[in-house]
């Protein structure tokens, strides 16, 4: 990992997880959206920033 696009990839994975969750469950759209925001934010937070040194 450790490229300039790691955080973007983490956000894309979070979006994909949200889409799959919406397709396989019967949850309200607000609940799916809230879960998606939490998953995406958590993944982006976990991925380290690229060291520019």
Q: What sign does the dihedral 29-34-35-39 (CA atoms) show?
A: positive
How many domains are there within the chain?
A: 1
**Predicted local confidence at residue 15, as pLDDT:** 95
CA 17/CA 9 separation, integer angstroms: 12
Q: Find the domain containing 28 and state its range.
A: 6-46
CB count within 10 Å of CB 10 equals 20
Is residue 41 in a domain? yes
Is residue 53 in a domain? no
Is residue 52 in a domain? no
**Predicted local confidence at residue 52, as pLDDT:** 61
Is residue 31 in a domain? yes
The whole model's pTM is what?
0.81
Is residue 38 in a domain? yes
Please, what are the averages of pLDDT over each run of 10 residues along the chain (53 residues)? 80 95 94 95 89 62
**Predicted local confidence at residue 5, as pLDDT:** 80
């Amino acid at each position: 990992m450790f490229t300039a696009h790691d955080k973007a990839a983490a956000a894309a994975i979070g979006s994909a997880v949200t889409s799959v969750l919406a397709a396989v469950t019967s949850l309200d759209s607000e609940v799916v959206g809230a879960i998606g925001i939490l998953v995406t934010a958590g993944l982006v937070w976990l991925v380290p920033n690229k060291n520019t040194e």
